[in-house]
Amino acid sequence: MNLWQGALTALDSLRANKLRSALTVLGIVIGVAAVISLVSIGRGARAFITSQIESMGTNLVFVRPGRAQEGGVGGAAGSAPTLTEEDAAALSGVAAVTGIAPEITGRAQLAYLGQNTNTRAVGVTADYLAVRNMILADGEFVSDANVVAHSSVVVLGSAVADSLFGGAGGAVGQTVRVNGQPYRVVGVLASKGGSGFGNQDDQVLVPLSAAQTRLLGGNRFRGANVVGTINVQISSADEVPAAIAGITETLRARHGTAEGSDDFIVQNQQDTLAAITQVTNVLTIFLGGIAAISLLVGGIGIMNIMLVSVTERTREIGIRKAVGARGRDILYQFLVEAAVLSFLGGLIGVALGWAIAQLVGRVQLGGSAIVPVVGWDAVLLAAGFSTTIGLFFGIYPASRAAILEPVDALRYE
């Protein structure tokens, strides 16, 4: 029996037992579909988070209170008020720094007529718009005059404008209540997209002075008003490392701290992006690993079915051997059956996994813009792994069939 004849014989056997073959394939289908869908969704989430971070600009540096690691870069953020407006002003003298925007944040309840929403409130200066790479969809931004006068004005994020006014149009000039206090809407930000924690569209911006004195409350440290974060814009991404060194040196001189004992941390977008990428990569691998377990279960299912098939076809095997079939012909026939089952399961699983991933992308829970990324590497890996598993778990049943003695097989009932 040549290879082609063995393959045709194996396919005939599978067609003769359609229901059993379909149920055997099902385990592989579920496993491959789970791997493809979960990995693609994980990659889509990573791409979405990356785009959100990069949309702020790759030349942005954040200074926050906290304990720094050796060298003053990175570390764990803390809540102790160690940064002030005077610290922010001092950083303007650092080489390559082109913009400074201190901020404080909190939560606020906004209400307009019968609509209300709870959102993130940020106290900012006039430079915040340019430093954070934001765009206005309507109206104007907080001005220096607003900060000096402690004006009760507010700039709405696009998601907040949608909640209160059904869109940006008509919001400017209206008065909303922020934590029960009247604020006049002077502008609406253009949407940057996003959902969940850190959504740049789900926030409102007020003058820093008004936030400190009325809305969010403020502390004083070293005789100056405390800020939560100092956003620093650098002239170019290439200048970021040198600028971080200059910022660290300036703040150490002001705070009287030595290397290793800083009460602030300095991070850039690349640090944040690298940390998030590492986390999402681990989660993607973890999800893919969990899904791969179902592939192993599917492989065990193939082995079980093949063992049953060998038992049921013992007389058939004896007849084939009696008319001249060799042990390797029988081995090849059963291996082909296992390979075909796993390969078909892999193909169907890839299609189903792609469909599930696209469905999740269309649902967009919570306004998410996550687009699943179905990579060819994941497709080839899942399909190849499923075929390999089918062959691996098919070897034992095929070997049992191949070593059957013709006389014993013919006497089997």
Rounded to whole angstroms, how far apart are CA atoms 286 and 304?
28
Which of helix, strand or coil describes residue 310? helix
Quick one: pLDDT at residue 63? Answer: 92
CA distances from residue 28 to 14, 75, 289, 296, 390 in whole angstroms, order as listed: 16, 45, 15, 8, 9
Burial 281-320, CB ≥16 within 10 A → b, else e: eeebeebbeebbebbeebbebbbebbbebbeebbebbbeb
Find, among 68, 39, 43, the residue nearest to 271 by Cα. Answer: 68
Crossing angle between the packed helical segments 327-363 and 376-402, to the nearest 10 degrees = 150
Distance CA 141, CA 227 (A): 20
Of 129, 74, 123, whose CA–CA distance to 229 is shortest?
123
The bridge status of strand 181-189 relative to strand 136-139 is antiparallel
pTM of the entire structure? 0.61
What is the C-alpha separation between 67 and 80, in angstroms, rounded?
10
Helices 269-312 and 314-322: crossing angle in degrees, nearest 10, is: 70
As a whole number of angstroms, the distance between CA 107 and CA 120 comes to 5
Question: Residue 19, Cβ neighbours under 10 Å: how many?
Answer: 7
Amino acid 205: pLDDT: 96
Q: What's the Cα-to-Cα distance from 277 to each of 48, 50, 194, 272, 274, rounded to whole Å?
A: 11, 8, 17, 8, 5
pLDDT of residue 72: 40
Pairing state between β 153-156 and 181-189? parallel
150 C-beta neighbours (distance < 10 Å), count: 15
Do the Cβ atoms of 324 and 383 come closer than 8 Å?
A: no
| pLDDT tens sequence for the chain (413 residues) | 455 665 666 667 667 777 777 777 887 888 888 888 888 887 787 777 777 666 666 688 999 987 654 444 444 455 567 899 999 999 988 988 999 999 999 999 999 988 899 999 999 999 999 998 889 999 999 999 999 999 999 999 999 999 999 876 789 999 999 999 999 999 999 987 654 446 788 999 999 999 999 888 777 777 788 899 999 998 887 888 899 999 999 999 998 888 888 888 898 877 777 777 787 778 777 877 777 777 777 778 777 777 777 776 677 677 777 777 777 777 777 777 777 778 888 888 888 888 888 887 776 544 555 777 777 777 777 777 777 877 787 787 778 777 767 666 555 55
**Is 191 within 8 Å of 110 (Cβ atoms)?**
no
Separation between Cα atoms, residue 129 and residue 116, nearest integer Å: 25
Which residue type does 215 have? L
33: helix, strand or coil: helix
pLDDT, residue 101, reads 94
